[in-house]
Amino acid sequence: MLKINDIRSGYGDVTVLHGLNIEVKHEIYAILGANGAGKSTLMKTIAKVLPLKTGEVYFKDENVSSFTPYQIAARGLAFVPQEGQIFPKMTVLENLSVGGLLLDKKSKKEKKEKMEEIFDVFPDIVQRLNQKAGSLSGGEVQMVAVGRALMQNPSLILLDEPTSGLSPKYVDNFFYKIKEIHEKKGVSVIITEQNAAKALEIADKIMVLTLGKIHLIKDAKNVDMCMIKEGYRI
């Protein structure tokens, strides 16, 4: 699904990621690490929001290293950033419709069916369709943001700390929804998380980043919290 060869990335003259090699299959791939480890930088680099300094990115066997964010999104990669996930002055329905812009070649019926799939995953937003997205709770905003990404009909979705700031009642449900999206919708997922215990419950593969370098990559079934915590010690 995704292959990263020796990438280096960062901001201006500052290099944050130092020669990462990663391979993501059809799975839930959780990226963990302390604040400042480079998790969000990695997600932005994969989504082409940040340019590569060196290295290559392959998505579905195609070299996308020089692609724009729009080009890689059109290939089936959706990105839900940690901040700025929605258009607050637009309604929920309008936000979801923006995600469907990449489906321009689809018929109205196909777009409607895709919208119905979103409602099936997130039924709570159906009653909020005509409400301004900026008036939603944190949990509802994340539902809309992920729903909008799913409207792109992605084969891979990047979720950058999606439960950050959510109340406990939303956290458990959101992790359940991530697993449902993967298993029932056939979408591969890369998720960065501070809630390592919850990520471990749903992930197939765990990676721990430390100061922009890979500390650990293992199948989740072979990882425990003690192994993860080692990567948080600087």
CB 43 within 8 A of CB 77: no
Q: Are 77 and 59 in contact (CB under 8 A)?
A: yes
Q: In which domain, by residue range, is 43 found?
A: 2-230
Strands 77-80 and 2-11: unpaired
pLDDT tens digits, one per residue of 65-85: 999 998 999 899 999 998 767
Per the structure, how many domains does the chain have? 1
**Alpha carbon distance 43, 41 (integer Å):** 5
Nearest to 17 by CA among 213, 191, 154: 213
3-state secondary structure of 218: strand
Give residue 86's pLDDT.
85
Cα separation of 144 and 85, whole Å? 9
Give me the CATH number covering residue 203. 3.40.50.300
Tell whether the model's pLDDT for residue 234 goes beyond 60.
Answer: no
User: What is the reported pLDDT for 105?
Assistant: 63
Task: Point out the least confidently predicted range of 37-46, 112-121, 165-174, 214-223.
Answer: 165-174
Residue 83, strand partner residues? none
DSSP string for 3-72:
EEEEEEEEETTEEEEEEEEEEE-SSEEEEE--TTSSHHHHHHHHTTSS-EEEEEEEETTEE-TT--HHHH
Q: How far apart are CA 222 and CA 93, in angstroms?
A: 42
Return the pLDDT at 113.
82
Q: Are 182 and 25 in contact (CB under 8 A)?
A: no
pTM: 0.90
Q: Give the H/E segment covering residue 1.
A: none
Q: What size, in residues, is the chain? A: 234
Over pLDDT 90: what percentage of the chain? Answer: 51
